[in-house]
Amino acid sequence: MSLYNDIKNDIKNNANLKGSIIVVCFTIVTFFRQRATNKFKLILIAPIIICYKFITDLVLGCEIPASTKIGKGLIIHHGRATVLNKKVIIGNNVTLKHNTTIGNKEDIEGKDMGSPIIKDNVVIGPNSVILGAIIIGENSIIGAGSVVVKNVEPFSIVAGNPAKLIRKIK
């Protein structure tokens, strides 16, 4: 796929302007980061990342590091206060609602204990927190206001603090 097609799909998938801007900016910065050779990386990538950080962090209030691994079809609803750790891995066709935090866990000495892996086709409700070296299985739904610190089985709906299985989808 070309950058143009990726951007076109990002706009089509994100119904609101903020979500479209965030995802399109991420797609552009990722495209150039992956293709820049070491020789031109600093010259080419530095201005793009600075522009990306300005738009997403300062203007839209959304922290998604350019090095985060995110699959195709990301949808961000009301991107305000969305925070992702740079080591988070997000699969294809994932939907993030506002005030979502997906981050690493640290031990008492500050040692990184890992970040979540979000599989394909997951919907994460608003005000949710997902922390630690856990896996959110494909086709799962994280309910609004959930705090997820344990693995979530595929085809599951979880909610609460701490998140518990509400029911299986299949």
What kind and span of H or E run contains 142? strand 141-142
Question: Residue holding tokens 């640290």?
Answer: 106
When the pLDDT of each residue in the chain is averaged and rounded to a whole number, the result is 89
**3-state SS class at 8:** helix
Tens digits of residue pLDDT in 29-77: 888 777 776 666 666 677 777 777 777 877 788 899 888 999 999 999 8
Tens digits of residue pLDDT in 15-36: 888 888 888 888 888 887 777 7
**3-state SS class at 40:** helix
Q: Give the Cα separation of 166 and 137 in Å (integer).
A: 15
pLDDT of 39:
64
pLDDT of 49:
75
Mean pLDDT of 101-121: 94
Q: Can you list the domains of the chain with their CATH numbers? A: 3-168 (2.160.10.10)
Which band of pLDDT confidence, cut at 50, 70 and 90, is reported for residue 12? confident
Distance spanning both ends of the chain, measured CA to CA: 32
Widest distance between CA atoms in the chain: 52
AA identity, residue 28: I
